[in-house]
Amino acid sequence: MLAALVGFAGSLLRQPLIVSFIAVGILAGPSVLDIARSSAPIELLAELGIAILLFLVGVKLDVKLVRELGPVALATGLGQVVFTAGIGFLLCLALGFDTVTSLYVAVALTFSSTIIIVKLLSDKREIDSLHGRIALGFLIVQDLVVVLAMIGLSAIGVGTRAGGGLSDALGVLGAGLGALGLVLLFIRYLADPLTTRLARTPELLIAFAIALAALLAALGDSFGFGKELGGLLAGVALASTPWRDAISARLAPLRDFLLLFFFIALGSRLDLGRLGDDLFAAAVLSAFVLVGNPLIVLAIMVGLGYRMRTGFLAGLTVAQISEFSLIFMGVGVALGHVEEAALGLVTMIGLVTIAVSTYMITWSHLLWARIEPLLRPFERPAPREAREEEGERTRGHDVLLFGLGRYGAAIGHRLRAAGLSVLGVDFSPEALADWRAGGGEAVYGDVVDPEFLAHLPLAGVRLVVSTIRDHPAQGLTQADDREALLQALRAAGFSGIVAVTAVHARDAQRLARAGADLVLEPFADAAEEAAQRLLAAAEKRASRKAERPGVR
């Protein structure tokens, strides 16, 4: 009940579920309400939640995306991890923490929440944008770092056990390699046929996935290489199957529910009285994550030849720490490497950075509009994405088409079939690739980017069509991005026809007043066309009956 109430309040504040769950854990702990007393069941559910979480990380470990993005994903991901950990370590030492605690906290600061970032980018419809795909690429690199960190902690844990020696470490290493070997054999010979058979009964497939995650987590705990690594290996075992997305989608709610108990277990161990001693350190490190991480990513991407705006939007996605940071610190506490106070410190940093970065990502375009004048002097004169499209923009076209989704691409293909030359514009590399694969010409561009709008390739263009229905990323009214396009076109002296898309009638009226020559309403237009075809079919059937009175 507490989670439902706090979660509802968090949703009203547009906060991700993890913030509400951390708050629930603190409220349920001994420092506030002291209602989390069933420690054994809570710990069991928390461990199962961690196993499912890491299982889903393994299932979604798509290294192909890293290969597709090439050096930018690796350079940005590894660069952000190295610089964040290095600078964070020095900051922790300067704040008076010992070497081991500083190392743990610094590594915890490098992890960003894939769950939160994917959710926010999806809500903003920017998951397929250039900065969105780059962000996903370096988040996968971070996931690989999580794997290495968990393996490292498992190895360290063996060495710190009472009586643990070289033979124990070699035994754990052998067990880990054996588990990996079994997983590889499973992938090679059993994964596809078994999951295909189980997928005939979806409930059975999900039960098998949970069982596999719990089994390997339990084996990892028993043999010493860690339940976290065991759960991750279980996910990797199913990552190559065609059912991985279905498994991930079905298990996500269970993961969220079980993670609640992880945060309750976390809150039950926190002493709020001691957290006050670390408020200054939490403020300094939170500021570093909120400001330093985006600047690190921005600097790396500009160095690789990307525009300042793309680097800024991608950098905002790492302006928080993740649930892995708390799990990582929890393992450190369990191993006796760090004290509970260090876990409390990272928990405070998580609350602050996740809460603040959520608004930063949601309002990223407005934030860029404020920051851009300060960063403009550092903009490179010929960034990579502009150089790639420079030749395309200089050609003359009859039609400029914004938005190459299903609706926009369908319109574009029909205009091309009518003999018009169409230049497509989209911020999704995949949409651009599909359009070009069909023989069309396209450039990368974002309708909410003032710099792009100021350099529109309007020479010879007779018709501008925008099939972008809304852009919730701006946090403004739905028509604002289209109004900006209309204003930019009029400011550039464009005298041709401008057609824009609207879903709601109120937007259609507003856009018409703003100067749109034609407002396309996909649902209303499709309904009108469908109704006309239905009526035509009915009239045709009626006329046949009239000609043959005896036919029903």
Block means of pLDDT (10 residues each) for the chain, length 552 residues?
91 85 86 82 87 83 59 80 92 92 92 80 73 80 76 62 57 75 86 87 90 88 77 85 83 87 80 72 93 90 84 89 85 84 89 90 85 78 53 65 89 90 83 86 74 69 84 46 80 84 82 87 88 90 74 55
pLDDT at site 472: 46
- List all residues 6 or more positions away from 71 whose beta carbon is below 8 Å from its beta carbon: 304
pLDDT at site 83: 92
C-beta separation of 516 from 486 below 8 A? yes
CA distance 26 to 186: 41
pLDDT at site 475: 42
Helix (H) or strand (E) holding 519: strand 518-520
Q: CA-based angle 57:263:326, to the nearest 5? A: 60
CA distance 187 to 376: 50
Nearest 10 degrees: Cα torsion 43, 48, 50, 55: 170
Phi, psi for residue 425 in degrees, rounded to 5: -130, 130
CA distance 325 to 142: 11
CA distance 51 to 375: 43
pLDDT at site 550: 59
Q: Is 422 helix (H, G, I), strand (E, B) or coil?
A: strand
pLDDT at site 168: 65
- Classify residue 99 by burial, with Cβ atoms within 10 Å: 0-12, 13-18, 19+: exposed
- Residues 369-417: pLDDT tens digits? 888 888 877 776 555 665 444 444 445 688 999 888 889 899 999 999 9
Q: Tokens 């397929």 — which residue?
A: 128
Contacts by 436-443 with C-beta closer than 8 Å and gap 24+? 438/409, 438/413, 440/412, 440/413, 440/416, 441/392, 441/395, 441/397, 442/392, 442/404, 443/389, 443/392, 443/393
CA distance 385 to 37: 56
* Radius of gyration for the chain, computed over Cα atoms and rounded to the nearest angstrom: 27
The pTM of the full predicted model, rounded to 2 decimals, is 0.70
Q: Is 518 helix (H, G, I), strand (E, B) or coil?
A: strand
